[in-house]
Amino acid sequence: MQASYVGAMNVLHRLCLVVAGVCLVVITIIIPWGVFTRYVLNYGSSWPEPLAVLLMIWFSFTAAALCYRERAHISVQILPSMLRGWPRLLVGWAAELAMAGMNLFMLVWGVRLVHTTWFQVISDFPIVSTGISYLPVPVGGAITLMFVIERLWTGRLFQEPAGSVLAPASAD
- d(C-alpha 156, C-alpha 108), whole Å: 26
pLDDT in tens, 46-92: 899 999 999 999 999 999 999 999 988 777 677 777 888 888 888 88
**Residue 95, strand partner residues:** none
By CB atoms closer than 10 A (0-12, 13-18, 19+), residue 59 is: buried
Name the percent of the chain lying above pLDDT 70.
91
- d(C-alpha 12, C-alpha 64), whole Å: 13
pLDDT at 155 (0 to 100): 83
Sign of dihedral through CA atoms 55, 57, 61, 63?
Answer: positive
Instruction: Output the pTM of the full model.
Output: 0.83
13: nearest Cα among 159, 168, 133, 150: 150
pLDDT at 156 (0 to 100): 82
- d(C-alpha 45, C-alpha 30), whole Å: 10
